[in-house]
Copies of this chain bind each other. A is one copy, B any other.
Amino acid sequence: MFNTLEKEESAQKSGKRTVFIVSDATAITAETLAHSVLTQFTDLQYDQVRIPFIDSPEKAILAAQKINDAYIKTGVRPLVFSTFVDVNIHKTFTEKCQGFRIEFFRSFIKEIEQETGLKSAHSMGRSHVIKDEERYNRRIEAINYTLAHDDGQMNKGLNEADVILVGVSRSGKTPTSLFLAMQFGVKAANYPLIPEDFERGELPEVLHDKRDKLFGLSISPERLSQIRNERRPGSRYASLDNCRQEIEAAENMMRREGIKWLNSTSRSIEEISATIMAELNLHNAHKIE
């Protein structure tokens, strides 16, 4: 008996967990936060299952059963991260689910009700329903703007940009621009710096009167060469030597022109984007030095 208990305990403490992300809406918020929390546990091995749109007590029971089945099958208690807006569905789920539950929503909503004296709307999935239509439309508009102004393909409307990313080809401008648009509703254009610009020793002419909107991305020559080789293996364009020269020229130009820039090599698009927001003080993002 003692042995069995010990074994169970040891499985719980070292076995591979199943992580369930459950929500009465998209489960995207729950997944984002769960992922942030779990990356703190570098030794945790887990498989992840997302169960969105649990918008009735019946579905809550089925979701709980799925989790309980995983518990029986693996012998390890699943970790369950949830965001339930609906009180009753949450209650049903809580009663049935035998996983280790962490609920991201409910306690905070209660605290804020107390602090503000306001009642919350117990409607479901409000966060990703188009409630704040203006904010949503701004994001969609920003995505369209960014696609139209990717890689310097359209000079028209460049004045409307909130930020114009500059840097050598494949330095990370496009994914960063799209993330800025999608996450923050920022109109992010991007413009490549090419060998002709370095020979001339000048920024592309269309950017001359837009210096306050420019932000530069640089990258290590080794990483750039690797990325370019995936596209055009063995080309001069992808060679380490050429990458080194282009990057040096681009960084010199950015320094000379007083353009803020960062090295994207070991940074995620989230980090790069949050840095740009703070550096350029966009949409109430504040930099504390």
Contacts and interface: CB of A to CB of B under 8 A. Distances in A.
Contacts of A274: 25-28, 52-53, 128
A130 interface: yes
A206 interface: no
A102 B115 CA distance: 11
A109 interface: yes
A37 B108 contact: yes
A42 B268 contact: no
Given A50-B286, A128-B268, A83 B36 contact: yes
Interface stretch (A152-160, A176-184, A209-217, A248-256): A176-184
Contact of A79 (B38, B40, B115, B289): B115
B44 A118 contact: yes
A286 B112 contact: no
A286 B49 contact: yes
Contacts of A286: 49-51, 66
Q: Is the interface of A mostly helix, strand, loop or mixed?
A: mixed
A271 to B, nearest CB: 5
A35 interface: yes
B52 A285 contact: yes
Contacts of A147: 150, 174
Given A53-B278, A127-B35, A111 B102 contact: yes
A271 B26 contact: yes
Contacts of A109: 37, 40
Interface string A254-282: 00000000000011111101110110000
A118 B32 contact: no
10 contacts: A25-B274, A29-B32, A36-B128, A39-B127, A52-B278, A53-B288, A102-B111, A128-B268, A129-B271, A178-B182
Given A25-B274, A130-B268, 20 more contacts: A35-B127, A37-B108, A38-B112, A41-B112, A49-B286, A51-B285, A52-B277, A53-B278, A59-B288, A62-B288, A66-B288, A128-B270, A128-B274, A129-B266, A129-B267, A130-B266, A140-B269, A143-B174, A143-B178, A147-B174
Interface of A: 12-13, 17, 25-29, 32-33, 35-44, 47-54, 59, 62-63, 66, 77, 79, 83, 85, 100, 102, 104-105, 108-109, 111-112, 115-122, 125-132, 136, 140, 143-144, 147, 150, 174-175, 178-179, 182-183, 266-271, 273-275, 277-278, 283-289
